[in-house]
Structure 1
Amino acid sequence: MSPLTLYHNPRCSKSRQALQLLEERGCDFHVRRYLDAPLSREELEALAARLDGDVADLVRTQESDWKALQLATPSADDYLAALAAHPRLMQRPLLDRGDRAVIGRPPENILALIDAS
């Protein structure tokens, strides 16, 4: 199995559920508390490329930080810039296998990535 990284916010119940699922499965994984250690723009681009879906899927667009940006038709670059400037906008939890990443909403989505390893 490739090394796993869980992008985790301990204040988020879904993120805590994903962490518990990984622990229960006995997975070898690294936790990155992305609010304490934000991702660089380059890391975000690479992560978005591994994600099933669009870069827009990485962004929590209902957050006030996003709404304050007032972007009518955001581009991929706008989404990445917003995530780099406002790490709390990143969807959580997120599990990255190095070649593929999934958003853990619901947390059981991470099981598909683990089982595909």
Structure 2
Amino acid sequence: MEDKIQIISVLFPFIATIVAIAIGGWVITTWLRIKHGYPLDGAWGQALHPSGSKEAVERVKLLTQENAQLRAEIGSIKDRLANVERIVTDDSSRLAREIDNLQITRN
């Protein structure tokens, strides 16, 4: 009995290491499949594919368009904010000169 316990205590670190390597390999393989767009396998080996209904595809297109519009709007808001920050931080005499120059060029 004591011999069996001693053998198990010697083999346990090796078995635990092999199990940890196998699980780590599975995790890395799954991560690489997801990263590169390969289909995942289910519990019984069947391929799992995301559902791609027409409604979902249309929703993605609409969200992509809305995202592009919002990014453009944020860009224009950043430009306006930069101008406001420039006006606020400039000294008043320089600002007055620029306003006078704008009025002169407008007339």
- TM-score after normalising by structure 1: 0.16
Larger radius of gyration: 2
> Which structure's residues are more often strand, by fraction?
1
Name which structure has the greater RCO, CA cutoff 8 Å, separation 6+: 1
